[in-house]
Amino acid sequence: MTIIYHPQFLNHYQDSYHPESPQRLVAINAKLEEENLLEDVLTPDPASMNDLERVHTKDHIEFIRRVGEGRIDMDTVSHKETFEIALLAAGGAMEAAQKSYLEKKPAMGLLRPPGHHAGPDYAGGFCYFNNLALAAETLLQDVKKVAIVDIDVHHGNGTSDIFCKRSDVLYLSTHQWGIYPGTGPFNYIGEEDGQGFTVNLPFPSRSGDTTYDAAWEEIISPILNQYKPEAMLVSVGGDAHYMDPLASLTWSSLGYVGFADKLIKTARQLCEGRISFYLEGGYHTGALADIIAGIVAKFRNEETPIFFGEIYDLDVLGKETIERVKEIQASYWNL
């Protein structure tokens, strides 16, 4: 598995005490190093303005370039170096996509700042440019359809807004209902040509391992198999974990790693192993390191020590959500 990383990602700060801190990547790197998993590491070049324009408006790009020191929303701050580092994260996402496409094996973009809350003409939620959307557009220069699976605990409103009217991008999101950004209801299925190509699974608080297992079996796996993407992209947020301080789902580290393993196996069956992962949120550094190192190790058929493996959701607490999604998506997919 190719890892895409740039030391500059550590120089991106929001405020002191902000949960989206460089410590997140420090913890991931430390665990990867400890477990001898830092082998195939690539340093990306920044994205160009032309690249960014595939996803964002000129006005938005110009706004982020010029904002310098300032506040974009309540939780998203810009400093003079933010723009340059965001360009490196965007370039890193493109690199991950290209690597997974050319080498037919998974790639992991350990990127900061994250991207899935950035839409065509807006930033927010710690995001400036939509890294994964840019990666998807890079892939679409070579293939006809891609599938995005977003397992961050927050709905990827930016990614959803960018692709909601298109059928060449399938967007599947699992998230907690009732928290930031407030979007992603189960009955939103995309618009115009994109109807049925947006699948939202908004779980109630406390949902965890058994809910994700059921969602995989009953919705995510069948839809991926029917859509038959030529490449897959995954927004990995570690914030659906039970240790996470910003949300209240209860997914375990083992649950995450097992889910990623199923995604990689599906990519091998459907699209020659062309799958790439993009770091989004995840604010408990120990849990985040567990998850990312676990995924990288799993790909090599190795196991890493897992610190946070308790299972809290034994009763499929998201069952009602899954049933509702099946009903609403029944016109588009055989579920």
Contacts to Zn ion by CB under 5 A: 152, 154, 237, 239, 281
Helices 285-299 and 23-34 cross at an angle (nearest 10°) of 40
Nearest residue to Zn ion, using CB?
281
In angstroms, give the least distance from the CB of 171 to Zn ion. Answer: 16
- In angstroms, rounded to a whole number, what is the distance separating the alpha carbons of residues 335 and 316? 18
Residue number with CB closer to Zn ion (115 or 237): 237
List the catalytic residue out of 6, 12, 56, 117: 117
Question: Helix H segments across the chain?
Answer: 23-34, 49-52, 58-67, 82-103, 131-139, 157-163, 209-215, 221-227, 253-271, 285-299, 319-329
In angstroms, give the least distance from the CB of 114 to Zn ion. Answer: 8
The backbone region for 182, taken as left when phi is positive above 0, alpha when psi lies in -120 to 50, beta otherwise, is left
Backbone angles phi, psi at 214, to 5 degrees: -65, -40
Residue number with CB closer to Zn ion (202 or 229): 202
In angstroms, give the least distance from the CB of 288 to Zn ion. Answer: 11
**Closest to 4 in 3D by CA, of 128, 100, 111, 103:** 111
In angstroms, give the least distance from the CB of 76 to Zn ion. Answer: 13
User: What are the b/e assignments for 308-321, b being 16+ CB within 10 Å?
Assistant: beeebbeebbbbeb
Whether 116 is a known active-site residue: answer no
Residue number with CB closer to Zn ion (63 or 283): 283
- In angstroms, rounded to a whole number, what is the distance separating the alpha carbons of residues 203 and 262? 20
Residue number with CB closer to Zn ion (275 or 288): 288
Q: So which residues are the catalytic ones?
A: 117
